[in-house]
A and B are shown apart, each in its own frame.
Chain A
Amino acid sequence: MNELFNVNNKVIYDINTTILYTSSFNYTDDAIYYLNNNCIVITKDRSMETFEISNDIFELFHEEKLIHKKDLTKIDELKLKILASLNTTKTVFVFCNVLTYLDKAFKERLIRYLILNKKRIINYTTNIEETLLLDYLVVLHENKIIMEGKKELVLQEEKILKKLGFNLPFIVELSNGLKYYGVIDKVYFNNEELVNVLWK
């Protein structure tokens, strides 16, 4: 894999990456680095350069109700901030623990949209379920990389993740249990696939 960035001693490769971190990690320095390297960086509190949101985008994300909504909530504002960032020629989107505030449908539409439009995604999160959204996973604790690799491999390191205070994502935990009891022979990372294998 090609190196995309070297961010404060962390190599970010040219692959959609989740950075799972424990609460002592401060992503501010990383966010500044990305900003200086021509990335779109979305944090919950930071205002940012925005572009016009087309009706097509509102429609695509099923968020037409936001067009005329008064009294926007913080979640509405976050969604608008993200939608307003999509009309850009920049190619790298960095989310700093913001996807966790959004509903799953919006999150999935966003990831799908960015991938279709050939954008590179880097998602900083403390939410283990979000590690399933992207291909590569880096696990950080106290500013150090504890492990990294394809998500399918890293998420099998249950002992290390537990030691860091993380449970496994639901589908991985369920798969592991079913595999242990001999019901299935591999770990699944997607609900539909596992259900179909169980009852084909």
Chain B
Amino acid sequence: MEVAKILENKPKGYIYGLMGNINLTTNNTNYSIITDYKFNGTVSEYLNSPKAQSSLKMVLLDESYIDKKANDLSIGELKKVSLAKALIDAKDYLVLDYFDKSFNHKEIDYFIRLMKRMTSDYQRTVILFTNDITVLWNNIKELLIVDEYFVINTIPKEKYFEFIDKANEPEIIRFIKLMKELGLNVENYKNTQDLLKAIYRLKEQK
């Protein structure tokens, strides 16, 4: 699906979340899609820019990576180098296609902060495409869901819970649903600590 179509009429300079079983493509030269992480040769040859070192630093790779060959890198490192390349290219739109899938929580949090800075300081527009709503829900302007008929639905923040594909529900939502099935009235918390306090209060009342 042409990714530019998904963002038609959406304001620039924000992070958008995207979910759905689609392949993203684009012919629009204003877009960088980080989806194919492979390249030939060394990192230096691939980045081919005086900004190579500083871009690598921004994606949590030190200067030792500049001379490494693509074949010697892990998938996570290849993704980071692809992001460094996109930072150098500095196109208006940056699409991260399941980018979160090779990283731990600390790295994901760092990259989300980086994307926020790119939108607020440089007015770039970022699309985070993933099947994990927990990566998105506190960080995006809007959640866009593309259904099997390629209809783009914009989901309001307060209704994220209702529209997440049941198969991709995060554990906290599954747990809250189990509680509700037992007749326990709990809000749709997104954070484990908030849920913990709510359970504690419920037990106190019991």
- Report if B200 contacts A (CB, 8 A): yes
- Report if A59 contacts B (CB, 8 A): no
Contacts A128-B105, A192-B178 given; does A104 touch B168 at CB 8 Å: yes
Q: Which chain B residues border A183 with CB–CB below 8 Å?
A: 199-200, 203
Q: Mark A97-136, 1 if CB is under 8 A from B, else 0.
A: 1001101111000000000000000000011110000000
Chain B: how many interface residues by the 8 Å CB criterion? 41
Q: B196–A177 contact, CB under 8 A?
A: yes
Give the complex CA separation of A26 and B102 in angstroms: 11
Partner of B104, one of A100, A165, A173, A181: A165
Q: A199–B184 contact, CB under 8 A?
A: yes
- Report if A73 contacts B (CB, 8 A): yes
Interface of B is mostly: helix
Q: Mark A166-200, 1 if CB is under 8 A from B, else 0.
A: 11011101100110010100000001101100110
- Report if A60 contacts B (CB, 8 A): no
Q: A195–B179 contact, CB under 8 A?
A: yes
Give the complex CA separation of A188 and B80 in angstroms: 35
Q: A165–B182 contact, CB under 8 A?
A: no
- Report if A23 contacts B (CB, 8 A): yes
Give the complex CA separation of A71 and B106 in angstroms: 36
- Report if B147 contacts A (CB, 8 A): no
- Report if A89 contacts B (CB, 8 A): no
Give the complex CA separation of A101 and B175 in angstroms: 21
- Report if B21 contacts A (CB, 8 A): yes
Q: How large is the interface on A (under 10, 10 to 19, 20 to 34, 35 or more residues)?
A: 35 or more
Partner of B105, one of A24, A73, A106, A166: A166
Partner of A170, one of B167, B170, B182: B170
Contacts A97-B102, A173-B192 given; does A73 touch B23 at CB 8 Å: yes
- Report if A74 contacts B (CB, 8 A): yes
Partner of A101, one of B23, B98, B196: B98
Partner of B167, one of A22, A97, A105, A194: A105
Q: Which chain A residues border B195 with CB–CB below 8 Å?
A: 174
Give the complex CA separation of A178 and B200 in angstroms: 8
